[in-house]
Amino acid sequence: MIKKFTDFHKFKESAKEHKITSDLDSLYNLDIVFYEDYDDDNYMILSLPAVDPSAPNQILILSRNFNIAYIPESSKKFKKLKLSKIKKSKYQASTLLFYEVISAALGTYFLELAAIKREAHKLHDAPDIDQVEIVSKRNREVRDIAEDVLRLCIEAEEEEFKYVNIDVIPYEFDILLARARHLVDRIKGVRRETDVLRTKCDIIETRKLNKRIELLTKVMAILTVVGLIISVPNTVATVFGIPAVSALFSFDFIIELTIISGIIAIALSYFYVREVF
């Protein structure tokens, strides 16, 4: 028996009817993949997180006699299997529900990864470190979920789960496992792409810093030249402002010395500024 609910309260009521005592509310927004076998009560609970933190999780309760699932309306539609492909075997219903939910979840994760890749591609034209970090964070969140789902599929293949029998749909389950591995590989590719974007951002910031340093060097060169030119007549005026010194020289000599000193300062400044620019 398989029952699927889009209403969480109806899902909990159905679970109570089957004497499920686990705290289902704590799984509603759990941000990790959770699964646990309850051998004493003969059932298994599985919770798959959504890529949107505000969206509810998909929750499964699998057993020999009943199988119920909470599927939010926002989740992707299930991939239905043809009955001709299904082998009659032990835990057929629970295996089918497990496959359908995992397959639909992988489809949702692929869609989120495609959106992340589009954002990453846009950043190649205009790299921005803040946006790169946002994309990288989203990618890490999807990676963590995808790796947990891959581990889930591997454990199911190794018959770690009592109520999942891959002999019911061996070929389809191989495809499911291949999709999970492919998803993880593509996520790693996006991570490498974000690393490249970070390097681009570092190069751009280094270039900007070099330009700022170059500009400051030019400004300091100009200020040095201005200070040098101004200091010459000030120095001469200061020296000859001393009565004992100014009495020894004529006014014409002071003017000529000031002009010559200014010309020398301007010439030296010209060669200095030319080297800087």
Per residue in 114-137, pLDDT (tens digit) is 999 999 988 888 888 889 999 999
In the beta sheet, which residues pair with residue 43?
A: 38
pLDDT for 110 equals 92
Q: Decide: 197 and 139 in contact? Cβ < 8 Å.
A: no
Q: Average per-residue pLDDT in the chain? A: 81
Most confident of 66-70, 94-98, 184-188, 236-240: 184-188
For residue 74, pLDDT over 70 is answered with no
Specify the amino acid at residue 208.
K
DSSP state of 182: H
- CB crowding 250-276: b at 16 or more within 10 Å, else e: eeeebeebbeebbeebeeebeeeeeee
**Do residues 225 and 269 make contact, with C-beta atoms less than 8 angstroms apart?**
yes
pLDDT recorded at residue 186: 93
Cβ–Cβ < 8 Å for 35, 48: no
pLDDT higher than threshold 60 for residue 229: yes
Residue 113 has pLDDT above 90, yes or no: yes
Residue 84: band (very low, low, confident or very high) from pLDDT cuts 50, 70, 90: very low
Q: How many Å apart are CA 140 and CA 132, to the nearest integer?
A: 12
Q: What is the mean pLDDT of residues 263-268?
A: 70
Task: Supply the pLDDT for residue 188.
Answer: 92
Percent of the chain topping pLDDT 70: 75
Mean pLDDT over 239-250 rounds to 60
> Beta strand pairing status for 43-48 and 58-62?
antiparallel
Q: Select from 116, 155, 153, 156 the least CA-distant residue to 134.
A: 116
> Could you tell me if 59 and 47 are in contact, meaning their C-beta atoms sit under 8 angstroms apart?
yes
Name 171's Cβ contacts closer than 8 Å, sequence gap at least 6.
85
pLDDT tens readout for residues 189-225:
999 999 998 888 888 888 888 888 877 777 777 667 6
* Cβ atoms 22, 35 nearer than 8 A: no
Q: How would you label 166-181 residue by residue, b for 16+ Cβ within 10 Å and e otherwise?
A: bebbeebbeebbebbe
| Between 82 and 176, residue with greater pLDDT | 176
Q: Is the pTM of this model over 0.85?
A: no
Distance CA 166, CA 126 (A): 47
- Report the run of H or E that residue 156 belongs to, with start and end: helix 129-157
- For residue 83, pLDDT over 50 is answered with no
Give mean pLDDT, residues 97-113.
Answer: 89
**What is the model's pLDDT at position 150?**
93
Burial of 100: CB neighbours in 10 Å, binned 0-12, 13-18, 19+: buried
**Listed ranges 52-61, 193-202, 261-270; the one with the highest mean pLDDT:** 193-202
